[in-house]
Amino acid sequence: MTGPEAGTRVLIVEDEPIIAMTAEDLVEDMGCVVAGSAASLAEAEVLAARGQFDIAMLDINLNGETSLPVAAALQQAGIPFVFTTGYGSGAPVEAFTGVEIVKKPYGAAVLAAALGRLAARVRGRDGGTGDR
């Protein structure tokens, strides 16, 4: 398993407390740092604006709202992220081509691999390998 390197700061956006707590535990178990955990769009927007994280995982549906405005902001800021969702084909994320979708329920291995790929992009960018 190629997870994110220890100390990677992760923003978790998830409105279901039980799932959020589990995600936090999984992220911490990987040796990463939960830089923030948001349960609503409003909270997520505040945390996203503040920054201080390397990668993010966004639940698409936030109790009737969607996290798409946050996704747009992150894309603008060049912060890699994945979507997490229980949606099958119906996820309204056509606009975000190239963004990985981690389907719920996700296990530790799947999440670690996805977050590992995000972290690699961060390293590539910071190392100046010219992928943007």
Partner 1 sequence: MAERVTLPSGGGEMGARIRAFDWSATPLGPPETWPAALRVSLGLCLNSAFPMCIYWGPELTLLYNDGWAPVPGRRHPDALGRPAREVWPDIWPIVGPQLAEVLATGHGYAVSDQLLPMTRAGQLEESYWDYSFTPITGEDGRVVGILNQGHEVTARVFDRQRDALLLGLGDRMRLLDDAEAITRMALATLGPHLGAARVGYGEIDHAAGTLDIVANWRRDEAVLDLSGPHRLGAFGDDLHRALTDGRMFAVADAHEDPRVAGRPVAARYGAAGIRAGLVVPVLKGGAYAAAIFVHDDRPRGWTDHHERLLGLVAERIWQERARAQAQRALRESEIRPRLIFEQANDIVFTADLDQVITGANPAAGLALGASPQALVGRSIGTFIAPEEFARTTAMLRRKLADGGTTRYEVEVQAPEGRRLHWEISSTLARDGDGAAIGLHAIARDVTDRHRHELEQRRLIDELNHRVKNVLAMVQGLASQSFKGDKPLTEAQAAFQARLAALASAHDLLTREKWEGATLDEVVAGGTHPFEGYGTRVSTAGPAVRLQPKTAVSLLMALHELSTNALHHGALSAPAGRVDVRWWTEGDRLLIEWQESGGPAVTAPERRGFGLRMVERALAADLSARVTVAFAGPGLSCRIDAPLPAHDDRVGA
CB of 19 vs partner 1, minimal distance in Å: 5
Instruction: Put residue 63 in one of left, alpha, beta given phi > 0 → left and psi -120 to 50 → alpha.
Output: left
Give the interface segment with partner 1, choosing from 21-29, 46-54, 68-76, 114-122 (CB under 8 A).
21-29
CB 101 within 8 A of CB 89: no
Residue 124 has a CB neighbour count (10 Å cut-off) of: 14
**Min CB(128)–partner 1 separation in Å:** 38
* Shortest distance in whole angstroms from residue 7 CB to partner 1: 23
- Of 19-27, 50-58, 69-77, 115-123, the segment contacting partner 1 by CB under 8 A is 19-27
Member of 5, 34, 61, 100 binding partner 1 (CB under 8 A): 61
Decide whether 11 or 122 has the Cβ nearer to partner 1. Answer: 11
End-to-end CA distance of the chain: 26
- The set of residues, in sequence order, having a beta carbon less than 8 Å from that of 91 and lying 6+ positions away, is 60, 83, 85, 101
**The one segment of 2-10, 16-24, 45-53, 117-125 that binds partner 1 by CB under 8 A:** 16-24
